[in-house]
Amino acid sequence: MDYQQLPPLSTEEYNNLKADIKANGLREPIITDTDDNTLDGFNREQICKELRIKPTRVAMEFGSEAEKMAFVIRVNRNRRQLSSDQRKELRKREIALAVELNTEGRTQKEIGAILGVAQRTVSDWLADSISVSGPANANTPMDVRVKIPRAAYPVIAERLEAGETQEQVAADFKVTQGRIAQVKKAVDKQEERKGKKTAKPAPNNIELYQGNFIYISPKLEKFSLVIADPPYNVSDWAWDDIGSREEYLGLTTDWLEATVKSLEDEYTIFWFVRPHILLTLR
């Protein structure tokens, strides 16, 4: 059973949480059921694995699977910064759980306590579920969608084609997975109209170099595209642990200076980097 009821953290939110746990340790335990299934703390648990920290786990008892799901939503609803799209999807799950708990014999007051909402709200949800084919309830929230800029469409398509999940991309843009699927479909149609889906033969003059870019770059011709994904220096893994903050900033400055010397007049740089590094080097 998958008890993860909320969308994943955005990449920035996840990295910020990871940095906090690395600096201050895990301050909140991982909540499980009596079978040791994680209910609350999915991201904290994953980060502890990455940082090789043994988390504290606390087991709780529940009367049913619906109560477990309701607990997950209740403890995270106000903790997470969700967009209107994401909250609308979460509300659908809450209503479904309210109906399920009602069929289990729970009173409206009990359901409200389990879900962390007012009894009147539960009453409205149950009434709407009975007359779902009738007129919309006056209290039904408007569908205020998060607007995704057109300029972001190609970026979303590229991330999906690179293997990222719709779930993670949706989390970064604070929208539902359905919206991401619509964007991808729109980009595909546009590409088809432009004829860009036609396969092109790969060039046969590609040369690959492996080594320290700082020493290799002076031997190369100037280039117009740079894709840099250096370590973040935020974990104890060998590939990511550069050293002190000063050493990391020094290395970053060195490869940036080498890059600038090798750029053509017009160029594009894609650099995967934590925001505070950019502010430090600005």
Question: Does some domain include residue 205?
Answer: no
Average pLDDT over residues 234-246: 75
CA 56 to chain centre: 24
Cα–chain center distance at 35: 27
In a domain, residue 70? The reply is yes
Give domain status of residue 139, yes or no.
Answer: no
Highest mean pLDDT among 31-45, 130-144, 161-175: 31-45
Based on the domain organization, do 106 and 165 belong to the same domain? no
Q: What pLDDT is attached to residue 132? A: 43
pLDDT digit string (tens) for 177-232?
Answer: 888 888 888 888 888 877 655 555 666 677 788 778 888 888 888 888 888 888 87
82 or 136, which is more confident: 82
pLDDT, the chain, mean: 82
Task: Tell me whether residue 181 is in a domain.
Answer: yes
* Cβ-proximal residues to 246 (8 Å cutoff; 6+ apart), any chain: none
The total number of structural domains in the chain stands at: 3
Domain final residue, candidates 130, 160, 176: 130
Cα dist. 262→209, 217, 281 in Å? 15, 7, 19
What confidence tens digit (pLDDT) does each residue in 127-156 have? 776 544 343 343 433 334 567 887 788 888
Whether pTM exceeds 0.85 = no
Please give the pLDDT value at position 203.
Answer: 65
Residue 100 has pLDDT above 70, yes or no: yes
Regarding predicted confidence, which is higher, 141 or 162?
162
Worst-scoring range by mean pLDDT, 48-52, 210-214, 234-238? 234-238
The more confident residue out of 16 and 218 is 16
In a domain, 118, yes or no: yes
249 and 177 belong to one structural domain: no
Residue 188 sits in the same domain as residue 251: no
Residue 136's pLDDT is what? 37
Same domain, 156 and 232: no
List, in sequence order, every beta strand (DSSP E) within the chain.
Answer: 30-32, 38-40, 57-59, 223-228, 263-271
Q: Please count the CA atoms within 13 angstroms of the CA of 104 that sit on its side-chain side.
A: 15
Q: Are residues 81 and 160 in the same domain?
A: no
Within a domain: 77? yes
Q: How high is the pLDDT of residue 134?
A: 41
240 vs 252 pLDDT, higher one? 252
* 86 close to 58: Cβ distance less than 8 angstroms: no
Residues 17 and 116 in one domain: yes
The answer to whether residue 102 sits within a structural domain is yes
Residues 83 and 164 in one domain: no
Query: What range defines the domain where residue 65 resides?
Result: 11-130
Say if 203 falls within a structural domain.
no
Q: What was the pLDDT predicted at 21? A: 93
Higher pLDDT, 258 or 143: 258
Task: Tell me: do 155 and 250 sit in the same domain.
Answer: no
Please tell me whether residues 181 and 226 are part of one structural domain.
no
